[in-house]
Amino acid sequence: MTKSQLLWTIESGLRIGISYASLRYWFFLKLNVFLSIVALTSLWLSGYVFSGNHPGLSLVLNIVGSVSLIADVILNVKGSVGYWSSMYEGYNSMLSEYTRVRNTASIPELDALYSRVLDFDGKCKSVMNALVVLARNEACVQMGKPECKAKIHPFKSFTANFFKW
């Protein structure tokens, strides 16, 4: 592989990784906020409704709040927020190292950096294929190559964090 091909491969891989980790991070952060708001609101309203002599509605609100808290624990949403934040920071630190050495590094040094990028990619918990396409499209725009963008169905784009398309 020539130096220019290796530079392109490293930079595109890092930018895709940054975009992917960012998309996952923001998804889990928003999910955490949503589940917390649902739980707190429904449990608070449950007590308020119970004091108004509506035990049936209070029970339903208690169940909704409990299910929201259980979903938060089972999905480990807070842990996922931290994990994807650390992945994002790791990709960013490698990108800053790459930008620092890209003009002066030799091919063996770039190969070593590329192998570190691949090792770091291997730490990725789950790969959502449609999300990778979205991250790749974002990286193509960032690198000034919008013609590299792949088309993705709007429904798949919208549900990319939920299903492995």
Domain boundaries, given as residue ranges, for the chain: 3-158
153-163 pLDDT, tens digit each:
999 989 998 88
The token pair that represents 66 in the structure block:
């409990």
Angle at alpha carbon of residue 151, lines to 7 and 15, rounded to 5°: 25
Backbone angles phi, psi at 27, to 5 degrees: -60, -50
The token pair that represents 95 in the structure block:
């990108």
The token pair that represents 56 in the structure block:
């049936």
pTM: 0.87
10-68 pLDDT, tens digit each:
999 999 999 999 999 999 999 999 999 999 999 999 888 877 888 889 899 999 999 99
